[in-house]
Amino acid sequence: MKTLTGKELAAAIRAETAARVADGPQPRLAVVVATADEASLWYVRSIAKAASGVGIACDLADLGPGATATGIRETLERLSADPGVHGVMLQTPLPPGASAQELAAAIDPAKDVDGANPLSLGRLAAGLPAFAPATAAAVMALLDHYGVALEGRRTVVVGRSTVVGKPLAHLLLGRNATVTVCHSRTRDLAAVTSTAEVLVAAVGRAGLIGAEHVTPGAVVIDVGTNPTEDGGLAGDVDSAAVADRAGALTPVPGGVGPVTTALLLRHTAQAADLR
Ligand SMILES: Nc1nc(=O)c2c([nH]1)NC[C@@H]1CN(c3ccc(C(=O)N[C@@H](CCC(=O)O)C(=O)O)cc3)C=[N+]21
């Protein structure tokens, strides 16, 4: 089985972004946070660190886990109206009573570098230019980097979230893949996933995908980043179980994650250029 690491691709995307940023005014990304979730805060710190490495300014608007929907909306509106800010991202999860889908509508689509505004998802579905959510874009970037053909091929996406499953299904359709989307109510998941030549797991359940879900030779992309008890990170794929069946598999950590962060920064540089 081939291991499809994301670290080199992420480094290449960051280097290309740094070169692009060096030519013009400094892009600025604002990250809005309203959670105490450790995994989410880890991601925010890694965005800030990577941004500083490529010459992008990164402002954190930390509203705390007690933030209200109104407070979050007003922050997103203020950042969207601020000509000095080029990218705006709203981290999930949010406090109870705040809907990410509804609040994301307050992000100017021109600054929507994580593709969260429903308008961005609609444009993606319509085949119009839009920022895709960085995680969904990272899956496509990895498939392209490793030369995985998509045209006419059977692809199965497990997970229907607004940040990964749904936008990814549209991106794959845009490349003429044959796309099936599975979710928690899918009957006989293994029967469906084992038809996949390209299988993407994006459900957020550690080790859900085992050998019985994978057809021999399949390319398997693991989007899951599930915190483990010992402070580590586990994917949605039981990598030991599928090692003898999959043709290729992305590792966790070191697969989709680093590419996600790199693409968020590329999107920010693009948003600054488009202004
Ligand atoms: N609006 C929004 N968009 C997101 O894309 C989003 C979010 N909210 N909330 C939180 C989750 C989490 N997430 C990760 C991204 C990269 C890594 C990543 O790069 N992880 C490293 C390793 C981390 C480690 O070793 O602890 C890796 O996979 O190699 C992890 C997690 C994006 N998220």
151-184: per-residue pLDDT in tens? 999 999 999 999 999 999 999 999 999 999 999 9
For the full predicted model, state whether its pTM sits above 0.95: yes
Ligand 1 pocket member 233 (CB < 6 A): yes
CA of 262 to the centre of ligand 1 (A): 11
Say which CATH number the domain at 217 has.
Answer: 3.40.50.720
For residues 171 and 223, give the distance between their C-alpha atoms in angstroms, rounded to a whole number. 15
CA of 25 to the centre of ligand 1 (A): 28
Q: Compute the mean pLDDT over every residue in the chain, rounded to the nearest whole number.
A: 97
E-assigned strands of the chain? 2-3, 28-33, 57-62, 87-90, 154-158, 178-182, 198-201, 219-222, 226-227, 233-234, 248-249
ipTM of the assembly?
Answer: 0.93
Domain of 146, in residue numbers:
134-257
Is 165 part of a structural domain of the chain?
yes
Tell me if 147 is assigned to a ligand binding site: no
Is 149 part of a structural domain of the chain?
yes
pLDDT in tens, 71-107: 999 999 999 999 999 999 999 999 999 999 999 999 9
Is 264 part of a structural domain of the chain?
no
Q: Whose CA is nearest to atom 23 of ligand 1?
A: 253
Cβ neighbours of residue 147 closer than 8 Å, sequence gap 6 or more: none
Is 175 part of a structural domain of the chain?
yes
Is 207 part of a structural domain of the chain?
yes
> How many domains does the chain divide into?
1
